[in-house]
């Protein structure tokens, strides 16, 4: 078994390339039980969440040996105060026939890449072709990856970042500026939402940050946070105005706070979800229908994404 570090992951992947890899993975499919989701209560501070995400190739086709993979991740909201990422984890990749461990991959970096590129994949189907103004809501470790993934699919010329702590937004902005992006930080979230072509929200918020009344026709909303039913990044009006898409129907309707709470309030029904990434990549839904349509993609993360990204890293890493 080999160990693949965070820097190795960066060297093995490109954003456009991983978007294409995820497209092929969703088109082909895999076995992925709904992830295990466990709350770790603490005497002091916020609870952590333990996530176990297994997936494996469909071996019934008899085509190739394939792989088995499982991600073990912990999400700890209080990590920010200690200067640490909220998400910690590892990815274990196994041989599909023998079960022999092949690679232990840095799970944090793999998660950042595959999450951002899943949003990039959705953008390829749901954002306007001329979308050029990106708003990042949240300035965590995922934010720069989201900017790069969206920019790999659309002609992003202007990036605006809003964060509760402006200094953290400025750090992300400087990183992206060094890569040649035109980036500014704002403290006027509502104004920024009204100007954006793509609103990409990656936070641990439990209250809506994106207000549907502010969205211009043609906007694409990318919701990446709110991975549990008690969390939420958008309000009911956002859901009612938008054509709603998800990464997987099973995961989104069970775990995604925006979807679960929207269904509970009556702003949305499960049948209102237009398609998931399986259906989009297989051509079962065309995605955006016209230039004025407001589209929304809700991601909670899918084990098929980790498996596809893990295999891609492993294959690129090995001589």
Structure confidence at residue 59 (pLDDT)? 72
Q: Model confidence over 58-74: pLDDT tens digits?
A: 776 555 568 999 999 99
Structure confidence at residue 62 (pLDDT)? 55
H or E stretch covering 38: strand 36-40
For the chain, where are the alpha helices, taking DSSP H only? 6-12, 15-28, 107-126, 143-151, 166-177, 189-195, 236-241, 249-255, 257-265, 277-281, 303-317
Measured between alpha carbons, how far is 146 from 15 in angstroms, rounded to an integer? 10
Structure confidence at residue 253 (pLDDT)? 92
Residue 72's closest CA among 42, 114, 33, 35? 35
Structure confidence at residue 64 (pLDDT)? 56
**Token digits of residue 170:** 């400025």
From residue 93, alpha-carbon distances to 105, 146, 220 in Å are 8, 25, 34
Pick out the chain residues at pLDDT < 70.
Answer: 60-65
Measured between alpha carbons, how far is 158 from 181 in angstroms, rounded to an integer? 7
From residue 99, alpha-carbon distances to 67, 70, 224 in Å are 8, 12, 32
Half-sphere exposure of 318 (CA within 13 A, CB side): 10
Structure confidence at residue 60 (pLDDT)? 66
DSSP-derived letter for residue 127 is: S
Structure confidence at residue 312 (pLDDT)? 96
Structure confidence at residue 85 (pLDDT)? 79
């Amino acid at each position: 078994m080999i160990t693949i570090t965070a820097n190795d992951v960066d060297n093995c992947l490109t954003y456009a390339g991983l978007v294409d890899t995820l497209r092929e993975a969703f088109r082909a499919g895999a076995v992925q039980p709904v992830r295990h989701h466990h709350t770790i209560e603490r005497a002091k501070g916020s609870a952590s969440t333990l996530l176990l995400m297994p997936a494996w190739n469909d071996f019934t086709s008899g085509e190739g040996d394939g792989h088995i993979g499982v991600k073990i991740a912990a999400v700890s909201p209080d990590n920010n105060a200690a200067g640490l990422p909220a998400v910690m984890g590892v990815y274990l990749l196994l041989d599909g026939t023998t079960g022999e461990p092949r690679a232990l991959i840095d799970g944090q970096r793999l998660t950042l890449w595959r999450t951002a590129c899943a949003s990039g994949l959705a953008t390829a189907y749901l954002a306007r072709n001329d979308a050029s103004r990106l708003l990042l809501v949240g300035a965590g470790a995922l934010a720069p990856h989201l900017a790069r993934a969206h920019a790999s699919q659309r002609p992003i010329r202007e990036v605006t970042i809003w964060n509760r702590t402006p200094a953290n937004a400025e750090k992300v902005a400087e990183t992206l500026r060094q890569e040649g992006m035109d980036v500014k930080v704002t403290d006027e979230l509502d104004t920024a939402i009204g100007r954006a072509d793509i609103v990409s929200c990656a936070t641990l918020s439990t209250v809506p940050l994106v207000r549907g009344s502010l969205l211009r026709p043609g906007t694409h909303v990318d919701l990446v946070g709110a991975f549990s039913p008690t969390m939420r990044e958008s309000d009911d009006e956002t859901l009612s105005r938008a054509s709603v898409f998800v990464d997987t129907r099973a995961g989104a309707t069970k775990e995604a706070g925006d979807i679960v709470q929207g269904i509970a309030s009556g702003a949305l029904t499960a049948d209102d979800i237009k398609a998931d990434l399986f259906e989009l990549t297989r051509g079962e839904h065309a995605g955006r229908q016209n230039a004025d349509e407001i589209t929304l993609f809700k991601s909670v993360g899918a084990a098929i994404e980790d498996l596809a990204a893990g295999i891609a890293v492993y294959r690129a890493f090995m001589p």
